[in-house]
Amino acid sequence: MAHAHPGLDFSFMTYERQLIESHAWLALCFISLVLVMAGLELLSMRDGLAEFLFDATLIGGAAMFGWFAWRRYARIMVVAEFIGDQAYCPACTHYGFRCDGAQHASAPLSARCPKCGHRWQVEQPPGM
């Protein structure tokens, strides 16, 4: 399989996808915030109780979705930072690593430096 960026390994591409996904969640959070603000601006009792309750329910739903989107964004960014902090080779300080084969999700990631070949373990974030 050819990568969109020649010379970059699978682990970098996975990291890049995580960052793209996290920023998509941030954009959805922002859109939810705009919907909540617009809903609050239009909320009134002039159209009756049923319309008010419907609008309030939509505002509450947008607020809850915004909170969920923010939590997803924050979690992905914390994981990316935790793994990114361990991406330096202990032997030659080169940034980046290649994964050594398929591994179980709960086990530490076995990494290999593409520059010097040194192997080390990349730990999972606490609580994962």
**C-beta of residue 52 within 8 angstroms of C-beta of residue 45:** yes
**56-106 pLDDT, tens digit each:** 999 999 999 999 999 999 998 888 888 888 888 999 989 888 877 656 666
Q: Residue 9 corresponds to which tokens in the numbers above?
A: 């390994």
pTM for this predicted structure: 0.72
Same domain, 76 and 125: no
Same domain, 106 and 50: no
Does residue 2 belong to any structural domain of this protein? no
Same domain, 64 and 30: yes
Same domain, 52 and 71: yes
- Cα gap 121→99, rounded to integer Å: 10
> Which structural domain range is residue 55 located in?
7-85
Counted domains in the chain: 2
- Strand (E) positions, the chain? 98-99, 109-112, 119-122
Same domain, 68 and 94: no
Q: Which residues contact 124 (CB under 8 A, 6 or more apart)?
A: 106, 108, 109
**8-40 pLDDT, tens digit each:** 344 556 777 888 999 999 999 999 999 999 999
